[in-house]
Amino acid sequence: MDKNIEGMSEQEAFKWYMEAAAKNDPEGQFCVGWCYFMGQGVSEDNAEAFKWFAKSAAQNYGAAAHMMGICYESGFGVEEDIKKAASWFGQAARLGNPSAQYRMGKCYADGLGVEQDDVKAFQCFYEAATNGSVQGLTEVGICLATGKGVDKDPENAFQCFKKASEPQNYPGALLNLAQCYEIGFGTKKNLREAKRLKDLANMVAEALANN
């Protein structure tokens, strides 16, 4: 799928995606599924979204495999099945999808659809972080802070939270970073910075909730 859709309306983009999907293009199939999932250019329809994600995932398209996990996890367009969700997250993770690597880590951390395993959880979080996931990097920091699945390391935990909070002001990282400053964990105690970070996290979270 090589056409630039910038400037198209949502309806025009959906039509183009559908044309690509009809030619068995996995990216086009994923985009059709996403349009149905989000109600962009077409009426929202989770069952149709699931159908197109499945077609794309069958061709090993990582983002589609990740969405198959999301659908099974929450019952979007298909009966909820946490074991199948974990299986799809695992497939998408092996295909290099950072969001799926993060979610697979959560599955191992919480024993959702797989046997609970802190070491495997850390490995998944680390892979996600390496591929640019701020959620994954925050979880790596939590593992280093608590010693779950890896040796406890306060200084590196602090650095993970700091790095994860910088690009997009990710609230989860900001709150963990604030706690580090509040109690002097991995860094010098700084109550003023802790308060600033908490206020920023709350402001970002509120803005995201209103979008």
Tell me 40's DSSP state: S
Residue in the structure block whose two tokens are 């509120």: 206
Of the listed ranges 2-6, 60-64, 103-107, 142-146, the one predicted with least confidence? 2-6
- Mean pLDDT in the chain? 95
SS3 45: coil
Look at 7 and 10; give whichever has higher pLDDT.
Answer: 10
Average pLDDT of span 3-23:
86
Q: Which candidate, 31, 33, 26, places its Cα nearest to that of 13?
A: 31
| Angle of the 82-94 helix axis to the 46-57 helix axis, nearest 10 | 40
Average pLDDT of span 166-175:
88
For 146-167, the pLDDT digits (tens) are 999 999 999 999 999 999 998 7
Average pLDDT of span 73-93:
98
Is it the case that residue 84 has pLDDT exceeding 90? yes
CB 162 within 8 Å of CB 174: no
For 103-129, the pLDDT digits (tens) are 999 999 999 999 999 999 999 999 999
- Residue-level pLDDT at 205: 87
Is it the case that residue 2 has pLDDT exceeding 60? no
